[in-house]
Chains A and B, each alone.
Chain A
Amino acid sequence: MNDMTPEREERIAKLKGLGCSRKRVEDARFTQGKGNYVDDLKLPGTLFGDFVRSPHAHARIRSINADAAKALPGVLAVLTAADLAPLNLHWMPTLAGDKQMVLADGKVLFQGQEVAFVVATDRYVAADAVELVEVDYEDLPVVVDPFEALKEGAPVLREDIAGQTEGAHGPRRHHNHIFTWEAGDHAATEAALAEAEVVAEEMIYYHRTHPCPLETCGCVASMDKVNGKLTVWGTFQAPHAVRTVASLISGIDEHNIRIISPDIGGGFGNKVGVYPGYICAIVASIVTGQPVKWVEDRMENLMATAFARDYWMKGRIAATRDGRITALDAHVTADHGAFDACADPTKFPAGFFHICTGSYDIPVAHCAVEGVYTNKAPGGVAYRCSFRVTEAAYFIERMIEVLALKLGMDAAELRAKNFIRKEQFPYPSALGWEYDSGDYHTAWEKALKAVDYAGLRREQAERLEAFRRGETRRLIGIGLTHFTEIVGAGPVKNCDILGLGMFDSCEIRIHPTGSAIARLGTISQGQGHATTFAQILASEIGLPADKITVEEGDTDTAPYGLGTYGSRSTPVAGAATAMAGRKIRAKAQMIAAWLLEVHEGDLEWDVDRFVVKGAPERFKTMAEIAFASYNQAIPGLEPGLEAVSYYDPPNMTYPFGAYICVMEIDVDTGEHEVRQVYALDDCGTRINPMVIEGQVHGGLTEAYAIAMAQEIAYDDLGNVKNSTLMDFFLPTAWETPHYTTDHTETPSRTR
């Protein structure tokens, strides 16, 4: 009876469920200027906070004189570490098990570090007061190179832990060493490298950059002294985690803290961390009894909030002469800045870097990552990717290119020769992951064909000949990559942040007239959850997506979840949504059976209704069932139709893709033209192709930016050289290339 009749197709189309390029429900607000971002919030009596920041990268603070600032009319307070110390809030825990100064405690460790917090009635007065705070600094030697930082006589950066030989992630071998983390089989990898017919080596620096969302970080903290409730609106990618952390460090009971993430103007990892501004705004609100707003400016955002990358990756790859890879070794020196504030799951201080065997069947591998303190800003977040996965993908794909050069083999052929074959899934990788699914050869062949790879190589060779004959100065470059990601963190058995398991959640309430609200533990920052999660639910419960409200970001109403970052929301919270939907359907089936006076087993689900098997004219739609759940006394069943699900994924998911970029470059001037960017993604089941394509376009633009110019660079004195949008490259519409997207669809086998 489930034949595709036009009537049935129409019912499916009406749902706007899975696979539909549904237009976004968010857009009516955003296109008319009716978004509600944190800086739009205007509570009566709001005070403004602003930071005095360090101009030095490493200096001792001899004294802070805030008298002139405090005397300025409109200034209510100037907080320093000395004021926070009695509350034990002058330092705060980081997500990586380290601690970080909220306000400079005796010294500063990076340029832009928070030194004092001014609270005033007006943002202009606050800025004036910042100028009036006198800080007497004594310069200390600056270290901005992680290799220098690990040398014998290097300056001690973190005096607070100088003598500690044990860190959050194992032994520390040097005063500027944070951790060494390893995966794989060191001895077997060394043996395979020693025996190999060919070994290629490369040092690859993935420079420091910054997620730089268009909205900077900020919050409004409001302590209601009458009822003892603290409410904080802010740019939080993980509102529930922020609530728990805020409770742990402030001592305020968790039920008395309400965290609200309103609309967020892009995150890209930058808004995962807990920043000193949040703590200071909360303290200031507690002290003054008034709401306190803190919103950083762009310079503060680029200088002090979480950066991404800064990995020095030394690779060795071994192969037979005919191009069969036999071993891979990676040694990473990871510059974490002054405090280890990476936002990785606790057990993985280098994130999921050990996905660095990529798409290839490599029998033995080893990787070691050393975290190092320097006089740079803390951070190390996943910037438009899962934890350290972009680093890993860049590493292995570059190593493949280096090996292809050494072997004199075509890099596309070398890849195809070493891909994990589809019959090998589930595939245990040499570094300890179990890839659930994939079909790399199909994707690769499709990509090569789409760009006419053989034709491109011919054209490239002809151009090179013409260049040698002196006929042109422009050469053609062909960039190839076949990446495998690891996303959807993650299974509670091995993924937690600060002890909080990385499950996620969804709670659904069906209203009597056949509409619904779903609340999740995640928070969209542009991904369009209000649109796509309703689609998942529409397909599960048979109510139209247009009749399902999706709400996120308010810890007083949403079920506990770990938030949105590291490409986890759809695989984890999306799955929780489907699971909760199935609970609704299970109860609906019992209600339908009672209404139709048949046994539950005599019913089958059909798009939006339960139908009596063999009697298609006898059915109850989900809308009818919803109403019945509120007005019928059904024996053995509670009234109402609600469900909640907390989904603990059994495994990560392993999406993959094949990207090819063709560029022309003038060898004299470096002037470039991106001729073609082809991007094939396989993310498994596609919920909303329009939204997926949009996400891919955005990611590609980051790739373009980082490859061409985007960098947070430091000079030898630790001055940030790219602290405004004048110097930090964000591509405009003018130079951004045109993209061609494509896909294959290999559903995950994880259930």
Chain B
Amino acid sequence: MAKMHLKLTVNGTEHECLAEPRELLIHVLRERLNLTGPHIGCETSHCGACTVDIDGQSVKACTVLAAQAQGAAITTIEGIAGPGGMHSIQEMFREHHGLQCGFCTPGMITRAWRLLQENPSPTEEEVRFGMAGNLCRCTGYQNIVKAVLAAAAELNAAKEAAQ
């Protein structure tokens, strides 16, 4: 099958690669760009293990063709931590035991990262609703919700301190 020339900006770095028009974005990220943080847990957009951020929106990369992301700016879990170390959301997931097997975690954190930009001070209910597209089989979500709320508080406090 003839391949397409893809240009993507992933975690701030420009990438070019060849891919079949039918290739899913998750496969291009994982297999062509070696970004194995986003995982594959289903093929029906339900589990959210493959969640990445495309041009400012949470997207499930298992049901998007790589071709649809042509020219897009993509953030994956590998791009969340800063040069100074782990992002607050990552720290709070560890602090509040918001993960067990870790398989859903990259998608979960990538989603939380976008959620807290959409709504920097969510209520517990808003976190539960805003994270409902990401499934976790281990934690029962209680500590994930706690982690996201704690990260929101920390990020807001840091913002206030900076002002």
Interface residues of A (CB under 8 A from B): 23-24, 26-35, 37, 39-40, 42, 123-124, 212-216, 263-266, 268, 297-299, 525-528, 690-691, 693-695, 697-701, 724-726, 730, 732-734, 736, 738-739
Contacts and interface: CB of A to CB of B under 8 A. Distances in A.
Among A28, A35, A733, the one with the most B-chain Cβ atoms within 10 Å of its Cβ is A733
B128 to A, nearest CB: 4
Nearest to B148: A733
* Chief secondary structure at chain B's binding surface: loop
A694 B41 contact: no
Given A30-B105, A733-B127, A40 B36 contact: yes
Contacts of B31: 42
A694 B101 contact: no
Nearest to B131: A733
A173 to B, nearest CB: 39
B94 A28 contact: yes
A739 B140 contact: yes
Contact of A734 (B44, B101, B132, B142): B132
A724 B47 CA distance: 11
Interface stretch (B63-71, B73-81, B152-160): B73-81
Contacts of B134: 732-733
B102 A32 contact: no
Given A27-B93, A33-B37, A214-B101, A701 B140 contact: yes
B92 to A, nearest CB: 9
A23 B95 contact: yes
A214 B103 contact: yes
A265 B103 contact: yes
B39 to A, nearest CB: 7
- Which 8 residue pairs across A and B have the least CB separation, nearest first? A33-B37, A265-B103, A30-B102, A526-B101, A526-B100, A33-B77, A697-B140, A701-B140
A697 B142 CA distance: 7
B39 A215 contact: yes
Contact of B143 (A216, A263, A298, A694): A694
A268 B114 CA distance: 30
B37 to A, nearest CB: 2
A725 B94 contact: no
Given A215-B103, A526-B102, A726 B44 contact: yes
A268 B35 CA distance: 27
Contacts of B25: none
B22 interface: yes
B125 to A, nearest CB: 9
B95 A734 contact: no
A298 B104 CA distance: 15
Contacts of A34: 37
Contacts of B22: 124
B49 interface: yes
Contacts, number: 174
Interface in B3-41: 20, 22-23, 27, 30-31, 34-41
Given A29-B102, A214-B49, 14 more contacts: A30-B102, A32-B90, A33-B35, A33-B77, A35-B105, A265-B101, A265-B103, A526-B100, A730-B46, A732-B131, A732-B133, A732-B134, A733-B134, A734-B129
Taking residues whose C-beta sits less than 8 angstroms from the other chain, chain B's interface range is 35 or more
Nearest to A693: B97
Given A32-B78, A37-B39, A725 B138 contact: no
15 contacts: A28-B94, A42-B34, A214-B49, A215-B101, A264-B101, A694-B143, A697-B143, A700-B140, A724-B46, A726-B46, A732-B131, A732-B134, A733-B145, A734-B129, A736-B142
Contacts of B90: 31-32
B91 to A, nearest CB: 8
A655 to B, nearest CB: 19
Nearest to B94: A27
A23 to B, nearest CB: 6
Instruction: Give the one of B22, B49, B133, B140 with max A CB within 10 A.
Output: B140
A690 B143 CA distance: 10
Given A27-B94, A214-B101, A33 B131 contact: no
Contact of A214 (B30, B41, B128): B41
Given A31-B90, A701-B140, A734-B132, A725 B100 contact: no
Nearest to B110: A33
A341 to B, nearest CB: 22
B99 interface: yes
Contact of A690 (B76, B77, B97): B97
Contacts of B136: 214, 733
Given A26-B102, A724-B44, A33 B97 contact: no
A214 B104 contact: yes
Q: Which of B22, B34, B80, B128 has the most C-beta atoms of chain A within 10 angstroms of its own C-beta?
A: B128
A47 B144 CA distance: 37
A306 to B, nearest CB: 15
B47 A725 contact: yes
Contacts of B101: 213-215, 263-266, 525-526
A499 B1 CA distance: 51
Contacts of A739: 140, 142
Interface in B112-149: 127-129, 131-145
Contacts of A212: 137
Contacts of B78: 32-33
A124 B23 contact: yes
A694 B97 contact: yes
